[in-house]
Amino acid sequence: MDERDLDRQLVERAQRGDKHAFELLVSKYQRKLARLLARFIRDPSEVEDVAQEAFIKAYRALPSFRGDSAFYTWLYRIGINTAKNYLVAMGRRAPTATGFDSEDAEGFEDGEQLRDVNTPESVLMSKEIARTVSDTMEQLPEELREAITLREIEGLSYEDIATIMNCPIGTVRSRIFRAREAIADRLRPLLETRKDRRW
């Protein structure tokens, strides 16, 4: 199944009462959503509050999600609305950013270093994570680095990557996995210092 189907599968499970499925979606989209909201809300800790609120609203609104659009697009709109309402409630005006009501969530500009969305307590942690990821990437064998870059940054399919790297599709799958594992291995000690999830 492709990525869009995967999200839809998770949503459908959540709609049938499986909260864990929704948690997987939260884990997946939390940073992306926070980054979006940071365009309109200056204070990083407020961004986090609003993002959490948006997720809860999305959960409550699940019955009305019919799968006509991608899950993130739907989440994006809920996020925007939540941010709007928050600013109004705080007596602030929403900035007249052009992308405010944009339908095209996918067209969001990545790669710009916007202001830090971290809460003060974990600012060090995030920087450490970012640096660990970047250091490990540099040390990866070239074919692993290339594969994961083409996937995560260029967003290419395995098939396209295999064509570019002139290798079997199965090799692409293996290389991306090995790159992820190599980085995850280095991150493990960092991540374990955070408190464990409550299940």
Restricted to residues 28-87, the positions that interact with another protein (CB under 8 A) are 28, 30-32, 34-35, 48, 51-52, 55-56, 59-60, 62-63, 66-67
Tell me the closest approach of the beta carbon of residue 112 to another protein, in angstroms: 7
DSSP characters for 105-172? GGG---S------S-GGGHHHHHHHHHHHHHHHHHS-HHHHHHHHHHHTT---HHHHHHHHTS-HHHH
By CB under 8 A, the residues from 177 to 196 that bind another protein are: 177, 180-181, 183-184, 187-188, 191, 194-195
CA distances for 181 relative to 28, 41, 122, 133, angstroms: 17, 35, 24, 11
* Closest distance to another protein from the beta carbon of 133 (Å): 4
Shortest CB 176 distance to another protein, Å: 6
Binders in 94-133 for another protein, by CB under 8 A? 110-113, 116-119, 122, 125-127, 129-130, 133
Q: For another protein, which residue of 3, 43, 101, 135 counts as binding (CB under 8 A)?
A: 3
- The alpha carbon dihedral of 185, 186, 189, 191 has a sign of negative
In sequence order, what are the residues at sequence separation of 6 or more whose Cβ sits closer than 8 angstroms to the Cβ of residue 18?
none
Helices of type H across 38-110: 44-60, 71-89
For another protein, give the closer residue by CB, 105 or 162. 162
Count of other CB atoms within 10 angstroms of residue 131? 10
- Whole-number CA gyration radius for the chain: 19
Least distance between another protein and beta carbon 42 (Å)? 15
| Under rule CB under 8 A, residue 142 binds another protein | no
63/107 with CB nearer another protein: 63
95 versus 170: smaller Cβ distance to another protein: 170
